[in-house]
Amino acid sequence: MILILLASLTFSCHAQTNTECLTKLEQKLSPKINTNNKVGEIINVRDEVNCFDWDTLVVQMAINPKEMTEQALSIKIPQNYDYSWESDNTAMLLFLKGNTVVHYILQKPTVDKQTFDAAQSIKAYDFLKLVNNSGDNAYAKIPKEKAVFETYQIYYHDAKGQKTSNPKFGLGIRVKS
């Protein structure tokens, strides 16, 4: 009887976890069709994700095996979702308390090809450069107090080698200095 009571209390406490702030963050980071990107936009994860206790944000790209990040950080990434089939630019945002993943969201910076082709612009955020510049090319580990980001224009080289940008490719994300 005591075990049943403890199990129901544990389940009910877990079920009461408020993740409304994560839903808002997911909506904010989701691609928006025919909406212009804003260079210098601030994304304040530190203050906006305030509906549960966390101390570290780990950004892992879907292209990298989760086992590599788990081993390097001595954590266990939930297997509730198989993100290995996602786009190379898809990021898993893992919120940790100590070495425990307390919540996570999948951040997809892309849309399907038909929508991409029909859009004039796509407001999107790409965490790949953050991982490449602030991490070890597999993940970036960011303390909560530094989890404030700003957007910047990503440039590419066209077929003629000219530096250019594309309003459909979105913006890069970096830790705000």
Tokens of 80: 């509730």
* 21-61: pLDDT as tens digits: 989 999 999 999 998 889 999 999 999 999 999 999 999 88
Indicate the Cα dihedral angle 72, 56, 172, 29, nearest 10°: 120
4 versus 24: the higher-pLDDT residue is 24
Handedness of CA 173, 47, 29, 78 (dihedral sign): positive
The confidence score (pLDDT) of residue 1 equals 41
* 140-170: pLDDT as tens digits: 999 999 999 999 998 888 889 999 888 888 8
Distances (CA, A) of 69 to 59, 61, 150, 176: 10, 10, 25, 24
**Mean per-residue pLDDT for 123-130?**
88
The confidence score (pLDDT) of residue 18 equals 67
**Please, which pLDDT band fits residue 117 given cuts at 50, 70 and 90?**
very high
10 versus 55: the higher-pLDDT residue is 55
